[in-house]
Structure 1
């Protein structure tokens, strides 16, 4: 490598000339064992002012694999102006993410190795020619994990892959490998906790595929409690099982298949004659996977547990987004502690799940309650019991019709301003409330409801018409239904990828139920413009976000009945118990408080205006205007400063909407954060032209600089120093970038000096 000055090389050049050859020379195969620039995350969507923008992705410079499903090591590269170990902390973070024990950092001089498999000498510097080979790291890994030869054969079995190239995300790889590892060690009950929308079913498929293909598990049963879930699974993620798979239906049993999907209601019942699962011998299945196991399977006397207890010799895997842990019921006790957890917060931070904003709306009667005057009757002539009625009573024992009208009106106003065809779920107290809400929404959005009777549908357990529309509601390609009013039926297990608005108009005291409801909106579908969602809260339910356990694995929750859906579906808890409902149509209601909250980069809801949030975020790093000015002036690339700000949650595009699109990021920040009057890009360009800066250059150089200044004025050019600006019209008419730099400016140094001087004129008082 003589003739090269390492310190002048870019990171990419260091990797190409030193790091990659050292890894290959150690015995790693370039095509099957070395992957470069591996995206670990997609970059969190940050939302301000209704404008979503992705943050920076996390990617590893190198991931080294023993086999395609077996990551072993992370290598982080830096250029030679940094020390050998400069990238180690970042590399360890990535290694923790992908669950590997070997971590390397290099600047092209040597490697620093961090080895989690040893108790001493954890970090060691290695020369370039002593990088460890794949067999060395695999044997250390195998000893660390305690794998037997039989376990190795199972653990190294590959994933299913098809022509689409889809492969598991890093956390899915972790979940799959942790599950298979637990099985190789003889664990019979296994729990996976993965947030709604993170691909639990796909993960389950890959686990089953590896176990089935290896012959470790020959007959498998996948259990769910919703017919739509079973059908989704069979037709989508489990499709590769093909003719080896069947769905148990019509209470018939065919023992010639290997992979069975079952609705637990189809397998069991109160009468012994309905317990179809007993037509199989107790040792028929080797593996049972229970989807959404926080519900029926958690209770000792539930039907799911009856099935699990019958097939006691099989390995049982439970999958859930919200594990149950109460004094009455616990799937932690049954399945054990989770072998892997991936939370909603992690999913949002990684950019795999949609973030949200909250519109919290407080209604006067909800806060102060309502007391009827003595002898007052409702609209049907029933005398109303004299007492104070509060939010817990509304839409259950007392219906204030003008309150329902107000809620429907607010939903309608929001949809008109944002997306009238954005999929929306309105969670109501019960069936009666869901039906009334449907009626009021039809009247609140007549211009859309007239176009299709399916614009607003009540989708509840008792409604054949509504349930028939569920598949259409879930499909992104289907326009109708747009709005679904419901109570319990859509709380869990329904995959509405394009759901943009969730409305909560019911009492929610259960953190489990709350998390399930929020999970209806967390899927991202960029093809259909779904990057975030909005929660409209009329019942203070979003106060549960402040609960320290809202995103944790174990929930102290004693009130929620996990088997409620199986026992009652969407039945009306207030009908048939002797109580009277009062329908009141002459009590006025009004909104007394509204606020907007945003999901911040640190995973908390912030109640701030866009400008306040920007001011607070910037001031943490730049308390004074001078400090920000110095940082901006010193930055070689202004876009790097903007990226830094956006990673802290500051959204420049949203600020442009509020302050003005004619300002560049510098003026937006100076104005919003430091109260400095902004100058438009055109005004800044005029200011430069009035000064004598251009006079020091020849005619052609002045013309080039003037054209660059025009680009800035008209289009908001941010990185003048980028050579790409020389490739666009009209600047490209002066010649190629090399010709412009050498022939017109007399070399790169002169050109860069001219550009930096132009930037100084733009942003300072004098040139």
Structure 2
């Protein structure tokens, strides 16, 4: 808030003096206290940001807020800021908030839900005592936890310290209060990408700084912590990127094959602690009370099942405080995340993360193949490529590439993905989820053959990252995760990247296998939910081949897409809510990958987990006998497969559900609703300022950028405004070259009024318009070749009498150009 604004003046002249009178000062308040990030709205590939939420004042105890103050203009009603202050306090989990106009003060008690006008702000000591009572900080240990500063030792991409976000702060303080109160089972549910590892590191840091639980006078005065997961990347990445920068290498170790007791921070896989064999399992070599804190990452997996062999690891260390972290708690069968850890101490959803601007919004591209919509009928007596008879029946989408392989199906999806990447960004990191490792191998091969130029230019442009790839796959994964490493670009996988793998720059998630489990669906979507604006990642796209994104309409899903575009059956009606699913003829009821909703392990039959537990096998050894028999697939050549035409999903105003409409019809209806005409649209489009205003209007009307018409309709040689008019009024469609040719024929007198050098500049602008589009009709084009080679912008502008004359000449050029036709 600027000091010269009415609110700024009120703060400086009225609010600050009243805070100071209550005993506050700049040492224990913070102005413009940040709460959210910058929420993003994506309109067909264009990002718009909204202002972040900031409290005018945060009143601090130590470095943590205990109240907020929302200030308004001195002439406004003091209650104008009440709801805003309440919102800030709710997010920050505060007991008190204030709204003021400098003359009056309203105190909001968030615990008792009362509001009253008061004569003064509470003093720092009074507010701190109230905060302690309201939040249950009754013990000295709880107070010490609260007053311990957070670690700033982990840098971000720019080298600045990573800071704790508001929801992480709230989760941390709730967890610490529970630990101080002696609770032993804790659960925090945070959306993928929202920083569970940051939460874990800061929790350990505060316990470490306070010498919990034995005290500073003990010979062993630091906590012994076990960080437990079921995949290598889930322990190696936190250890390397988060804990070692804070605690150094000395107290940190990876448990691999032998007992270590000289460290304090232990990172282990279940597989390493519970190795099958003749010797006693490794975890039993530790006393049950050896660890003070156990952090169970992705606690919906691994030991989640009550009958799981790995559950005995947690049971053995029952005296420890056990913290479960997950984005997707489970409650099905004998898997009960809540039953073991209790109700969540804090929940932060994907929806909230997107609304707060901390997680990336996403759009959905639904692609339906004819073979998936109609099913593939295999008559009796049909032989596969090896001469085996294929069981007769109708094979639907869930059976294709799992039991029956039609190579053209994978080739068609690879072709579609190639075309999509080439028209958007061929270097946008993309994860493709396939049916299994064999399917992933074929998908990779198709992408290689379709993109040999990119493979020659970039080497490992597309790779397969699966368990079978071993160390090579892990090296690919390390490079794929690195934000500063451009290749690999496309990672083809099955299960390996579905959980716990951070790829902040992933811009596309391709779902080329059936996903029935909501837990797995959320985890996969989470692979793209991280923001990386410094690398151009502000949203991501889900390309859905089999209709898995229907789960967006499930009440269990907590984050709707910003937009859904479908490539689907061209004959379907515009009001269809959802394409019908083909009933599948099940060929073998036992050939199901794992329990319902549970992905099977990527480890092939016969593979053994490494003795150090480093293999990424994610299946409990006690469940291995229940994993499916991997029968041989049938391969049927000569089946034609195609992608149908494009349609757009929009929100139905009457019921709020997604309604499918034809893309072209949608554009026509929305443009005609503006009650304008082609001449008016062309006139606006012709000038620089007019184009800017028209783009904003059309983006709001169409829910996407008008420039996107060019690529969506594959009319790259046409101007967007001509495409818009063509769709809305069925007028003749001119290419940019046609329009320039008509201008050159009819507007000689206009060009002749300029000097030869000025005519050359305008002619070059027309050439650039023909080649690249309407953005070249701007003074900015003078900064690029070949115009930049003719002189500086200032020098070229002199040919038109200066910059104002240059702008008028370009605008008139545009007006006459778009008058043609």
Structure 1 and Structure 2 fold alike (TM over 0.5): yes
Tell me how far apart the structure 2 counterparts of residues 211 and 273 of structure 1 sit (CA, whole Å).
35
Tell me how far apart the structure 2 counterparts of residues 471 and 95 of structure 1 sit (CA, whole Å).
40
Tell me how far apart the structure 2 counterparts of residues 612 and 89 of structure 1 sit (CA, whole Å).
42
- The answer to whether the aligner puts 1:161 opposite 2:152 as a matched pair is yes
Q: What pairs with 1:135-150 in structure 2 (closer than 5 Å)? A: 135-150=125-140
Runs of 5+ consecutive residues of structure 2 not aligned to the other structure: 214-222, 560-593, 606-616, 677-688, 712-720, 732-776, 781-793, 795-821
Q: What pairs with 1:417-432 in structure 2 (closer than 5 Å)? A: 417-432=423-438
In structure 2, the partner of 1:21 is: 17
- The answer to whether the aligner puts 1:270 opposite 2:270 as a matched pair is no
Q: What pairs with 1:533-544 in structure 2 (closer than 5 Å)? A: 533-544=540-551
Identify if the C-alpha distance between structure 1 residues 616 and 347 changes in structure 2 by more than 3 Å, giving closer, same or farther. Answer: farther
Tell me how far apart the structure 2 counterparts of residues 237 and 605 of structure 1 sit (CA, whole Å).
41
Match of 2:33 among 31, 34, 38: 38
Match of 1:510 among 508, 517, 523: 517
Tell me how far apart the structure 2 counterparts of residues 610 and 97 of structure 1 sit (CA, whole Å).
40
Quote the offset at 1:399 in angstroms: 0.6
Q: What SS does the aligned partner of 2:377 have?
A: coil
Q: What SS does the aligned partner of 1:396 have?
A: coil
* Cα-to-partner distance string for 1:304-327 (whole Å, 9 max, x where unaligned): 422211111110000001111112
* Cα-to-partner distance string for 1:232-263 (whole Å, 9 max, x where unaligned): 11221112111442223331222122222222
Quote the offset at 1:406 in angstroms: 0.5
Quote the offset at 1:274 in angstroms: 5.3
In structure 2, the partner of 1:59 is: 54
Quote the offset at 1:597 in angstroms: 5.0
Q: What SS does the aligned partner of 1:166 have?
A: coil
In structure 1, the partner of 2:494 is: 487
Whether the 8 Å contact between 1:360 and 1:596 is mirrored in structure 2 is no
Quote the offset at 1:561 in angstroms: 3.2
In structure 1, the partner of 2:636 is: 584
In structure 1, the partner of 2:751 is: none
* Cα-to-partner distance string for 1:85-139 (whole Å, 9 max, x where unaligned): 11101111111111112111111211111112336xx211123xx2111111111
TM-score where L is the length of structure 2: 0.71
In structure 2, the partner of 1:720 is: none
Tell me how far apart the structure 2 counterparts of residues 417 and 115 of structure 1 sit (CA, whole Å).
54
Q: What SS does the aligned partner of 2:463 have?
A: strand
In structure 2, the partner of 1:207 is: 203
- The answer to whether the aligner puts 1:389 opposite 2:389 as a matched pair is no
* Cα-to-partner distance string for 1:694-734 (whole Å, 9 max, x where unaligned): xxxxxxxxxxxxxxxxxxx9799xxxxxxxxxxxx9xxxxx
Q: What pairs with 1:562-711 in structure 2 (closer than 5 Å)? A: 564=601, 569=617, 577=629, 579-597=631-649, 654-655=705-706
Quote the offset at 1:563 in angstroms: 8.3
In structure 2, the partner of 1:78 is: 72
In structure 2, the partner of 1:115 is: 109
Q: What SS does the aligned partner of 1:402 have?
A: helix
- The answer to whether the aligner puts 1:170 opposite 2:177 as a matched pair is no
Quote the offset at 1:153 in angstroms: 2.5
Quote the offset at 1:450 in angstroms: 2.7
Q: What pairs with 1:345-494 in structure 2 (closer than 5 Å)? A: 345-464=351-470, 465-494=472-501
Tell me how far apart the structure 2 counterparts of residues 575 and 404 of structure 1 sit (CA, whole Å).
26
* Cα-to-partner distance string for 1:488-537 (whole Å, 9 max, x where unaligned): 11101111111111111101111111111101111111111111111111
Match of 1:227 among 216, 224, 232: 232
In structure 1, the partner of 2:43 is: 48
TM-score where L is the length of structure 1: 0.76
Tell me how far apart the structure 1 counterparts of residues 416 and 436 of structure 2 sit (CA, whole Å).
20
Whether the 8 Å contact between 1:360 and 1:594 is mirrored in structure 2 is no
Q: What SS does the aligned partner of 1:75 have?
A: strand
Identify if the C-alpha distance between structure 1 residues 174 and 616 changes in structure 2 by more than 3 Å, giving closer, same or farther. Answer: farther
Identify if the C-alpha distance between structure 1 residues 140 and 192 changes in structure 2 by more than 3 Å, giving closer, same or farther. Answer: same
* Cα-to-partner distance string for 1:41-69 (whole Å, 9 max, x where unaligned): 1222211122122122111111111121x
In structure 1, the partner of 2:799 is: none
Tell me how far apart the structure 1 counterparts of residues 66 and 670 of structure 2 sit (CA, whole Å).
38
Match of 2:326 among 320, 326, 343: 320
Tell me how far apart the structure 2 counterparts of residues 305 and 27 of structure 1 sit (CA, whole Å).
53
In structure 2, the partner of 1:250 is: 256
In structure 1, the partner of 2:786 is: none
Judge which range, 267-276 or 45-54, deviates more.
267-276
Q: CA RMSD in A?
A: 4.0
Match of 2:177 among 177, 181, 189: 181
Quote the offset at 1:614 in angstroms: 10
Runs of 5+ consecutive residues of structure 1 not aligned to the other structure: 1-7, 626-637, 661-666, 678-712, 717-728, 730-767
Whether the 8 Å contact between 1:487 and 1:570 is mirrored in structure 2 is no
In structure 2, the partner of 1:521 is: 528
Whether the 8 Å contact between 1:197 and 1:523 is mirrored in structure 2 is yes
